[in-house]
Amino acid sequence: GGQATIRNFRGHKDDGLRAASVFKRNKNQWKSIYDEVKDWVWQKWPKWMEEKPAWFDDKMRSMIPQDMIPSRDDQKQIAAEIGKK
Rounded mean pLDDT for each run of 10 residues along the chain, 85 residues in total: 93 97 95 97 93 96 94 78 68
The CA distance from 33 to 10, in Å, is 10
The CA distance from 64 to 54, in Å, is 16
At 85 the pLDDT is 59
At 34 the pLDDT is 97
Instruction: Please list the alpha-helical segments (H only) found in 1-85.
Output: 2-11, 15-23, 34-51, 58-63, 72-84
The CA distance from 6 to 62, in Å, is 21
